[in-house]
Amino acid sequence: MGRHRGSNVDDYALDSRRRANRRRRRRGTGRALAAFAAALALLIGLGVTGYFVLDGRFGCTSSSRSLHVAAAPEIAPVLTRLAEDFNASDTAKDRCVTVEVRGADSADVAYSITGAGPTMGGTDSQVWIPDSTLWVKTVQRDAGDDDTIVSTGTSVARSPLVLVTTKDAVSDAESEDAPLSWSDLVPTEAISSQETAPYQVHVIDPVHSSAGLATLALVSNMVNREEGAQTRFIAALQNLQKSIAPDEEAAFTLLSEAADGESAAPLLVLSEQAAWRHSTRTGSTVYVIYPEDGTYTLDYPYVLRTNDPEVQLAAEDFRAFLTSRTAQEVIRADGFRSADDSIDPAVLTEEHGFRPEHPGELPAPGEQAAKSLIQAWNQLKLGTRLLTVIDISGSMAELVPGTGLTRMQVTTMAATQGLTLFPGNAEVGLWEFSVDLDEGRDYRELVPIRPLDTDVNGATQHETLTAALAQLAPKPDGDTGLYDTILAAYQELTETYAPDRVNTLLVLTDGNNDDYDSITLEELLKELGEAYQPDRPVSIIAISFGPDVDPEPLERIAEVTRGAAYTTEDPTEIGEIFLSAFALRISGTSADEEEE
């Protein structure tokens, strides 16, 4: 993005003197005519209206107008000071314009224009300076025929994303021999609740933060170079959501409260200017780290929101003023980089890890990518409501080759491990099934669906489920009432649907329905097809064990509900299977599309 030449306050003063000299020269040749014209104008003005209006060189009256600027809160204070200088300049007086700057959250303005999210209102302006072009792209895509959102191509300031931590934590997070990269920071594999990530990375909620949204984009770009990108990206999002902060203040509170000697160094993904501003405002010592593979930069674009030609001229004057040498010096003194990425070394000091050179620009997501990232994040935030049904038929007593374990043991181990992947607010229940288990039914409820952190007779739901799984045993000579159980469990989830959660039926089995008194596969598919509602989706994930499994029936069952079916003998794959299923739910693709 190129630099834009503008005029500072002194430039405007020089222009004013030049105009005054030209006026004096003209008076020498037409003094009499000018005097007559002035007298005539005075007489007419007094005769018709009783007053006269002086032009902009002598002051403005009711014809004065305000140029309203909505700017990201962190840059609004310095822009307010610059607006005061601009308002005192000859250019502002000649235009009869007064610039008024107001802080406005970038996401709030964007959502107020598009209606795509929550907003606090009061975001109208003729000029908008958000913290990132990401919001501008999103607005231009979603605003449809609204042609009043015009990017000028000018950045009034820049601030790259960095990792913010304390000086004490730097040695734990980075060394000269092992500089940090984005691929080091966010695990792209499932991390159980009993495991700890190598770094505790905190991001601001990307629904409201450019820094948070850009972090998702950086992670997405990173995993797209790896095999199984979709699954790995969802794993990264899940890991990031474990350490989300609603805003900058909450993030810095997490940093200040970090325990001494914590195994995972606390790292905040924020801008350089945010780190400087926090240190200046609170007097606390922070340190910044630059990822070695580059970063995304908040670019504070100057955006017009008006078609009024007069207002556009005033906006252009203020844009030129902000890009002037004098204004850019003031902006650098407030912890930002100039549009050319230069810094004030007395402000962003090496003592706190700041570097004068830009760390390297990584590509920003397009408008569709940004929208998809937010959708994926919101989908995962919904939480989980899961009913797990486990096969206890006689065939589950058979050994799994190469493991020394029965199918039952492998299945319960996988289910127990899977529980560790969910947070305490996830709602999970457990059924077992074979044939004729409970008053003629092929299934039996062992643990009702409840949040994992709910107290159940002195134990948590998580502990209750773990104990129930440990007690599961195959029913000798029991057949597999698979179809009747799937239909009953699906109806249960449909009737008790939770709109604020991802509702899923998980089936763990050795795969084949051999209950000859049950409904047929075709009848089951018809029932499921009629029960499935796109606006109240309940999906089936089927995981089968053993060499005798016929995968086709479970694949067709899962397909009807936009779910997924898998066959595996390795219980350690359960985490990846869960993540694959959630990735499908978010992207809206099928299992076949993922394999392609």
Q: Is residue 341 part of a domain?
A: no
Residues 324 and 287 both lie in one domain: no
Residues 457 and 527 both lie in one domain: yes
pLDDT digits (tens, 9 = 90+) for 267-325: 899 999 999 999 888 877 788 999 888 999 999 999 999 989 989 999 999 999 999 99
Which whole number is the average pLDDT over 76-82? Answer: 98
- The helix or strand, by DSSP H or E, that contains position 66, with its residue range, turns out to be strand 65-71
pLDDT digits (tens, 9 = 90+) for 418-428: 787 677 888 99
Residues 475 and 528 both lie in one domain: yes
pLDDT band at 41 (very low <50, low <70, confident <90, very high): very low
* More confident: 36 or 80: 80
Per the CB < 8 A criterion, the answer to whether 164 and 286 are in contact is yes
Distance CA 163, CA 264 (A): 14
Per the CB < 8 A criterion, the answer to whether 53 and 63 are in contact is yes
Residues 458 and 527 both lie in one domain: yes
DSSP 469-536: HHT--PPTT----HHHHHHHHHHHHHHT--TTSEEEEEEEE-S----TTS--HHHHHHHHHHH--TTS
- Cα torsion 177, 179, 185, 188 to 10°: value is -70
Q: Note if the pTM is more than 0.85.
A: no
Q: Is the pLDDT of residue 175 over 60?
A: no
Q: Is residue 354 part of a domain?
A: no
Q: What pLDDT, on a 0 to 100 scale, did the predictor assign at position 54?
A: 31
Residues 177 and 58 both lie in one domain: no
CATH code for position 319: 3.40.190.10
Supply φ then ψ for residue 301, to 5 degrees: -75, 150
Q: What pLDDT, on a 0 to 100 scale, did the predictor assign at position 4?
A: 41
Last residue of some domain: 249, 283, 298? 298
Residues with Cβ < 8 Å from 347, sequence gap 6 or more? Answer: 276, 332, 333, 334, 335
Residues 92 and 179 both lie in one domain: no
Last residue of some domain: 274, 309, 332? 332
The amino acid at 478: G
Residues 150 and 192 both lie in one domain: no
Q: What pLDDT, on a 0 to 100 scale, did the predictor assign at position 507?
A: 93
Per the CB < 8 A criterion, the answer to whether 480 and 434 are in contact is yes
pLDDT digits (tens, 9 = 90+) for 446-504: 999 999 999 999 999 999 999 999 999 999 989 999 999 999 999 999 999 999 898 99
Per the CB < 8 A criterion, the answer to whether 343 and 329 are in contact is no
Residue corresponding to tokens 């015009």: 150
Residue corresponding to tokens 């990031």: 240
- The helix or strand, by DSSP H or E, that contains position 574, with its residue range, turns out to be helix 574-587
Residues 282 and 170 both lie in one domain: yes
Residues with Cβ < 8 Å from 32, sequence gap 6 or more? Answer: none
Residue 373: which of 249, 223, 507, 577 has the closest Cα? 223
Q: Is residue 125 part of a domain?
A: yes
Residues 290 and 263 both lie in one domain: yes
Residues 390 and 435 both lie in one domain: yes
pLDDT digits (tens, 9 = 90+) for 217-243: 888 887 776 666 666 777 778 778 877
Number of domains observed in the structure of the chain: 3
Q: What pLDDT, on a 0 to 100 scale, did the predictor assign at position 244?
A: 84
Q: Is residue 498 part of a domain?
A: yes
Q: What pLDDT, on a 0 to 100 scale, did the predictor assign at position 76?
A: 97
Q: Which domain holds residue 199?
A: 161-298
Q: Is the pLDDT of residue 591 over 80?
A: no
Last residue of some domain: 274, 298, 322? 298
Per the CB < 8 A criterion, the answer to whether 130 and 106 are in contact is yes
Q: What pLDDT, on a 0 to 100 scale, did the predictor assign at position 476?
A: 92
Three-state DSSP class for 100?
A: strand
Residue 271, both tokens: 């801008």
Residues 314 and 427 both lie in one domain: no
Pick the range with the lowest mean pLDDT from 27-36, 141-150, 505-514.
27-36
pLDDT digits (tens, 9 = 90+) for 87-134: 999 888 888 899 999 999 998 998 888 876 655 566 789 999 999 998
Residues 455 and 535 both lie in one domain: yes
Report CA torsion sign: 244, 248, 249, 251.
Answer: positive
Q: Is residue 439 part of a domain?
A: yes
